[in-house]
Structure 1
């Protein structure tokens, strides 16, 4: 669709999300103005991100994209629709935000040159020449102004001439932004800078024009400092440009993790068409196509292995260092690396639907969001600049008022110095950067560790969580059950019982079903020997039912059989109890309304589960094991990982997991839930913090707030620790931003702060906020 077509379209029925790029924002005041202006449109809400220079706008029916762009432009900024890096199709409401322009398309590739959407107020390349000129000219101005020994006849005129390019060309970004905002009767950080720098220069120029011979003899005749502030203008501009330049470079580093994530994908794929191998761009792969992956190559897209066996390095996606063995019917993820054997893979997801694409959208959405704590900064910034302007005027007036009935040059100079220092020190740049740059670094590092944080609200949730429910199968245990026994209870032979069970379970997504089907295929000599089935139905946490060769076959829990009218004798129940006492998970198989036998399976505890649960306790969480498995199996697993017997809930149906969460919440607990299956989705949604194991189902991942892409429970504790660390960093940023202004403004108003030092401090505050956030990039190293 062309740009004009996009701009002229009306909204589809119901709210939709529109993402726009905004150029020209420089501080928290800009963010607040844009959000307020967009919020005045009926039904519209917006979240604006300063370092990304983007806005995510929720738009109701009847409001066009062009109206959104016009509203932003009327506020004084340039706005364009964001071009999605990934086509969005039906990715779901949580996956809507796309990465910013310049991010790589599926298949990798660098961002277009010249684009840097992390640099508010200009990127590093555009700021560098202005900074270099300012620094070269400001140094001699500073030395000659501050060191009497270096002063020569008429040095004031030389200082003024050298300062002029600095306060005009070098400082142009500040003046331009201030002028644009002034046309809209608004003020921002640039207003303070522009007024302060211009006032210092004009005050000095007027003084020199009124007394051209002021510096004719080098040092003034009375030995006092000449009332010239050219060095203030030059040095303040240099400091502020240096601050923005360092910000731009540091924020580019903060976004490296997302850019790296988006460039992981394979560029090419070798497809198998009519028995011939053909290389095509990875983006052209279609669902259902078979492609070849040789040793050392990246897997082009998500799929299922149809031939071959290998070990796949998934560390780039999951954060886990050990390769994963895969064979026929195993799922593989795009962008992971085939380390050994040759694989044939059938593509199951392409483009925007791949795991990598969805990871990119989730990370970008989290970075573009706004944590609740950031709203405090927004509310303050809305009135901050006008208040500072008033304080500067009041400071100037009070200094003159308190100086006595006769106002001399010294009194005027002191009042002017204090007022300019107030303007310079008060710039709220650090305030606007405190939250988004922290999010940028934290979520980027999380992505590198195989952790996806759905949004900023999750950070707040992790801080208060005190209880965590852990699903057993696939979360605490490997989730790769294996059949250890087939127990016939009627005349149906064990081999036939296994064949029927494998057939009816072949359409289920549950790990137990996968284990039974795999064992049945292995015992019968291959996938083609399992018969066809019809009338398949599934009940999460209960079981499955289907018609196989004219017979009705059920497989599942005791309750599932009873719901379907199957009566269990005392002997049948005794056989079940015997298997449970052995620590096995036993699944009933019924044929034509009669219990035909049991299939016993066992699972193994993941190697890192015990240490992970100990880490969760260190984080102040109370771990509870919840499972649909029997009490004997659950007790054995709990004992192995260090969970107390009283904290084990066995034989729990999906609705029982939801009820367990609700009971804990009613008792005052803030509950996290970690799970991986369809039967965990409702509990994940009910919990205060839902954590999905990335090795699980899409339904579980969609219901969760936080996803760990691997299968290691240790990633759960790492995710919570990193989320809390990110929130702590944001709070520290906000504290120092507030503290800096709270202390700096009164000190400047009292005349205790030179404007040059104020400019350096203001620039340093922004750089320190960004540097503090960048420390998150070293988390876990």
Structure 2
């Protein structure tokens, strides 16, 4: 491998092997680490080697010990062939440009010997890469470098053995090989910075843990030796080795590296702990509940890696062009040589016409020398790597930046889609609100002779305790004894229903219901007596639940969920960015409007009493009007809308990642990162476009200039390496991106309106 494009190809072919979970390729050492699942479907290490060979590269399996010894033999910063190339190139340059030795016979033969060493030792990787690709009827950047440097080298050899007349170009050949290899050395080290976030995540979990034995003693063991239900002692300052729950003690835990939360989180008995976080100020004991790939940290690492190595749609055009680029450049180079050889007057005329506008370089005197030098220049200056790296480099850095801010990006396509969003739809509960409702008040309705002789709150608690919905949890916490109900079922987006038989003499079981007023009203329950209570709490933004037995109204409960801190600021930021903001909820319309007023959402964009099917329908209606819609939900009942939207954003805790199918996952409940995520995506798209523009502009401009004699092969080598670094450097600026929340962003069709 000679460049990051080679790294990308190797990674892609290995990922295509069934059972491969993760591939890490290090260009600087030439080492590849493959992480495979337990179910590899019979595929062996030889299958991995064959996959690499089919892509035009060679590979061999090494053990951990061999790998370590191989790495230890490498110089800390430079490899030996590159050092040789730099020393020889500097010597030849000094001899020609400073000491004036270029006309001396001894210097010509010294240049031949030293140039040959550089050509075939420093440049060996280019020849090997070109030959491996040629055997599979392919071509790559190695092909261009090998052909271009060989043309300059053989030209000089031919001139030397014909008597040494004219200017020899051993310096050009050595410079081509050395500068391009130096550029790839720099590229390898620059590109490693784009993977910093992933390496930081992988380094979070400690290698050992303090296990508490059954007799109460403590033993330091490798983390790999821990099993489920083991007890682990955590002292102040310890990194938490696995996922678990607190079974003894209380402490504060720093979860910043995992979730982006800056403040420590207090942990008490039965609270969840996550691998990679840090215990801060007290001794606690945890029970191991997740190890290895079952931990939240492992799933986060997997998500970040998947995003880094994925492709965006915008990359397909660059890939198609890159696939035919090298053969096309070879054809252009041959045509250039033929034109300078057989039609020199025409080429000199074109050269002279542009020289007055550009600059006047010195051309070789001999026609055949001019033809070969310009052929070499065209081959060297062309750079398919810049086109290949334009998109993946930006996506990798952007995924890392997002991960550091507590945002997991599913893949490059999700990041690309996020950059075009102009409408954001919020599900109210758990996104705009805290997601921990409290029972505020309830009212009982008597006076109906046919009213069943049941306690309305026992009915409510009996049903609520069977659901995991946050509103039901608030009701279930009311202190009363539940009834022994049967055949309980949850009707998604509406409420709970069950049967109750108090004794054997009851002719028919009672039908108990707890749920939305709209649902119960549709089943025949009369809420006319509850209108004052409903209006009062709806105006306060409360969620109203009706309690009914058969069709009889037993009572109404008011539950209220507090707004998340900063929710209004988030809505304001999105609107100033040009986004239409909507809210959808199953609440009473008055309650929904009250919440909308608090956060600053226009009442025309509030959709209340929405059943489970209404959310994806709303998304579809907005999309049909030409909008690109992001849906923000808590991942409980929002799966259809998250799937239907252009961009699904799930507000979840780290423990829920495995159940998530959204495009973006927020590892903390703070929705303030949503404007940041959309802003980062837009900046990433801008970087991708800038990289693609540079890659195309560079090649479109540089190849004609080289063909017409304005760029020497040495200068072409410098420019080719520089073009790669421009793309990588531009992508790396995303590491220092900061949201500019005060500046409005213009988005097409983003005026606030009633859809």
Q: Same fold (TM over 0.5)?
A: yes
Report if aligned partners of 1:678, 1:697 keep a CA contact under 8 Å in 2: no
Partner in structure 2 of residue 367 of structure 1: 308
Q: In the aligned structure 2, how far is the partner of 1:271 from the partner of 1:547? A: 49
Change (3 A) 1:339 1:535: farther
Per-residue deviation at 1:254?
Answer: 0.8
Cα distance in 2 between the residues matched to 1:48 and 1:263 = 17
- Cα distance change of structure 1 residues 713 and 306 upon mapping to structure 2, 3 Å threshold: same
Kept in 1, the 8 Å contact 2:521–2:527? The answer is: no
Contact 2:381 2:720 in 1 (8 A): yes
SS in 2 for 1:537: strand
Query: Structure 1 pair 490/779, CA: closer, same or farther in 2 (3 Å)?
Result: farther
Q: Give yes or no for contact 2:236–2:280 (8 Å, CA) kept in 1.
A: yes
| 1:177, distance to aligned residue in structure 2 (A) | 0.8
Q: Offset at 1:148?
A: 5.8
Alpha carbons of structure 1 residues 251 and 37: separation in structure 2 relative to 1, 3 Å: closer
Aligned to 1:4: none
Which of 161, 167, 177 does residue 113 from structure 2 map onto? 161
What is the CA distance between 1:660 and its match in structure 2? 0.9
Q: Is the 8 A contact 1:675 1:700 kept in 2?
A: no
2:673 match:
715
What's the counterpart of residue 355 of structure 1? Answer: 296
Residues 734, 747 of structure 1: alpha-carbon distance in 2 compared, 3 angstrom cutoff: same
Corresponding residue for residue 203 of structure 2? 263
Q: Tell me the CA shift for residue 300 of structure 1.
A: 3.7
Asked if residue 339 in structure 1 is aligned to residue 319 in structure 2, the reply is no
Q: Which residue of 2 aligns with 1:389?
A: 330
Provide the aligned C-alpha RMSD in A.
Answer: 4.2
| 1:243-258 correspondence runs (5 A) | 243-258=183-198
**Matching of residue 436 in structure 1 with residue 436 in structure 2:** no
Contact 2:2 2:126 in 1 (8 A): no
Pairwise mapping of residues 575-614 of structure 1 onto structure 2 (< 5 A)?
Answer: 575-590=533-548, 595-614=553-572
**1:544 partnered with 2:496:** yes
SS in 2 for 1:679: coil
SS in 2 for 1:707: strand
Cα 1:249/1:205, change in 2 over 3 Å: same
Separation (CA, whole Å) in 1 of partners of 2:664 and 2:198: 17
| Cα displacement (A) at 1:249 | 0.4
Matched residue, 1:774:
732
* Contact 2:419-2:679 at 8 Å conserved across structures: no
Asked whether 1:476 is paired with 2:441, we answer: no
* Residue 430 to residue 56, structure 1, CA distance change in 2 (3 Å): farther
User: For structure 1, which segment, 626-635 or 327-336, has the greater mean C-alpha deviation from structure 2 after superposition?
Assistant: 327-336
Distance 2:525 2:558 in 1: 20
Asked if structure 2 preserves the Cα contact closer than 8 Å seen for 1:485 and 1:599, the reply is yes
Matches within 5 A, 1:223-622: 226-269=166-209, 274=214, 276=216, 278-279=218-219, 280-287=221-228, 291-305=232-246, 309-328=250-269, 330-340=271-281, 343=284, 345-403=286-344, 410-489=366-445, 501-502=460-461, 504-517=463-476, 519-520=477-478, 523=479, 535-545=487-497, 554-561=513-520, 567-572=525-530, 574-590=532-548, 595-622=553-580
For the residues of structure 2 that align with 1:47 and 1:346, how far apart are their CA atoms? 29
Q: In the aligned structure 1, how far is the partner of 2:230 from the partner of 2:531?
A: 48
CA distance in 1, matches of 2:185, 2:541: 63
Q: 1:133 aligns with which of 84, 91, 95?
A: 84
CA distance in 2, matches of 1:48, 1:392: 37
Tell me by how many angstroms 1:633 deviates.
2.5
Contact 1:504 1:544 in 2 (8 A): yes
Taking the aligned partners of 2:590 and 2:483, their CA distance within structure 1 comes to 34
Shift of the 286–700 alpha-carbon distance from structure 1 to 2, 3 Å rule, reads closer
Cα distance change on mapping 1:775 and 1:305 into 2, 3 Å: same
Looking at structure 2, the residues matched to 566 and 306 of structure 1 have their Cα atoms a distance apart, in angstroms, of 49
Sort the Cα spacing of 1:377 and 1:683 in 2 relative to 1 into closer, same or farther, 3 A.
Answer: same
1:186 matches 2:144: no
Structure 2 unpaired stretches of 5+ = 347-362, 503-509, 740-755
Rounded Cα–Cα distance in structure 2 between residues aligned with 1:636 and 1:48: 51
Q: For residue 742 of structure 2, what is the aligned residue in structure 1?
A: none
1:170 aligns to 2:122 (yes or no) = yes
Instruction: Choose from 689, 693, 703 the match for 1:735.
Output: 693
Contact 2:237 2:281 in 1 (8 A): yes
Distance in 2, Cα, partners of 1:267 & 1:332: 17
1:745 and 2:703 aligned: yes
How far did 1:132 drift? Answer: 1.6
The alpha carbon displacement at 1:238 in A equals 1.6
Offset at residue 230 of structure 1 (A): 0.8
CA distance in 2, matches of 1:766, 1:745: 16
Q: Kindly tell me: are residues 62 and 480 of structure 1, through their superposed partners in 2, closer, same or farther at Cα, counting changes over 3 Å? A: closer
Alpha-carbon displacement from aligned partner over 1:25-45 (angstroms, at most 9, x marks no partner): 747599789989999x9x9xx
**In 2, Cα distance between equivalents of 1:69 and 1:381:** 25
CA distance in structure 2 between the aligned counterparts of 1:278 and 1:547, rounded to whole angstroms? 52
- Looking at structure 2, the residues matched to 756 and 328 of structure 1 have their Cα atoms a distance apart, in angstroms, of 69
For residue 682 of structure 2, what is the aligned residue in structure 1?
Answer: 724
Q: C-alpha distance in 2, partners of 1:197/1:368?
A: 33
Matched residue, 1:684: 642
After superposition, the C-alpha distances for 1:695-735 in whole angstroms (9 at most, x for unaligned) are 39848962311111111111111111112222221221121
Report if aligned partners of 1:38, 1:68 keep a CA contact under 8 Å in 2: no
After superposition, what is the alpha-carbon deviation per residue over 1:192-220, rounded to whole angstroms, capped at 9, x for unaligned? 111111221221122112215x5xxxxxx
- Greater Cα shift, 481-490 or 587-596: 587-596
Q: 1:258 deviation in Å?
A: 0.7
CA distance, structure 1, for counterparts of residue 146 and residue 382 of structure 2: 13
Q: Which runs of 5+ in 1 are unaligned?
A: 1-23, 84-100, 103-111, 117-122, 215-225
Alignment partner, residue 77 of structure 1: 57
Which of residues 599, 617, 625 in structure 2 aligns to 1:659? 617
Q: Distance in 1 between matches of 2:90 and 2:610?
A: 74
Secondary structure at 2:613 match in 1 = helix
- Inter-partner Cα distance in structure 1 for 2:23 and 2:324: 17
Q: Deviations 1:456-496 (Å, cap 9, x if unpaired)?
A: 11122122221110111221122222222243345999x97
Per-residue CA deviation, residues 650-686 of structure 1 (Å, 9 max, x unaligned), is: 2212211111111111222111101113211111111
User: What's the CA shift for 1:503?
Assistant: 5.3
SS state at 2:262 partner: coil
User: How far, CA to CA, are the matches of 2:60 and 2:391 in structure 1?
Assistant: 24
Contact 2:612 2:637 survives alignment (8 Å): yes
